[in-house]
Structure 1
């Protein structure tokens, strides 16, 4: 089923987003069992979802840079409450970039065509991306580190008393 969404919000069903390479739509969104399109760019969708989750894309990016010293292909904690983390296959502005949901990612396989890989999601669906398996595995590792630090083992919060 293909639908079009002008106001799509990245959510827990989102498995991947990528450039649509279409005259009318900027982004191809892949959810379990369906795909849809948006006139917003992948970065606009990421920024919108980050804002809805309590920060901006740039704020999330700066936080990960500071905490992990990652300076390129930075995984993003899109929404802390919904535990949504997306990791890129390329620079976020690269036309071949695909944002992959950490929650839905299962495994990456070599593609028969050089410079491509197959990403398999937990539900068994697969997509082809333009990068190596090594890159995907490295990005998955970075996103997993972000998940552990920010969601599963966050630092103790300072409690302030107001008297």
Structure 2
């Protein structure tokens, strides 16, 4: 990939990883439509490019924590009665809970990590128009504009808090 803005035409090199296990510094998994990588992992201090899809990373990370995505999803559904866009306790002992912004099988689904979210801002409050209806503000003072309603994101955040509370009390 050429950097057209650079006069010396040096190659931009992106280090693409074959796989990845979610750590406590992950703030979001962004889907990517690239030939080289399928996910951009946003951590509290860097961006990583991974060949796996966000859902594949979530599933592999659940296995890494001695469970399956399907098992965790079914447990949350059973305990909370949530049926769609179910929050996933990726690593309960590490306090890592993630929630999808759309159906997890949707190619545009972003996964957000509960413990890194400071606030969710409604960019359309008071009739304001914005390309992105919501912006997620993270505890590391970064932000992520998303094309998802404030209501939907806030609802997912709340459901994840309920899930976390239930697992923490067990």
Structure 1: which 5+ runs fail to align? Answer: 155-163
Task: State the number of aligned residues.
Answer: 153
Q: Is the 8 A contact 2:30 2:40 kept in 1?
A: yes
Q: Is the 8 A contact 2:132 2:145 kept in 1?
A: no
CA-to-aligned-CA distance 1:28-59 (integer Å, 9 cap, x gap) = 10001211110001111000000111211111
Task: Give the alignment partner of residue 51 of structure 2, picking from 36, 39, 45.
Answer: 39
1:3, distance to aligned residue in structure 2 (A)? 4.1
1:126 matches 2:138? no
**DSSP 3-state at the match of 1:50:** helix
Q: In 1, distance between residues paired with 2:139 and 2:52?
A: 27
1:115, distance to aligned residue in structure 2 (A)? 5.7
Give 1:158's aligned residue: none
TM-score, length basis structure 2: 0.84
Q: Is the 8 A contact 1:16 1:99 kept in 2?
A: yes
Q: Which moved more, 1:68-77 or 1:5-14?
A: 5-14
Give 1:90's aligned residue: 102
Give 2:69's aligned residue: 57
**Which structure 2 residues correspond to residues 20-39 of structure 1 after superposition, within 5 A?**
20-39=32-51
Structure 2: which 5+ runs fail to align? Answer: 1-13, 124-128
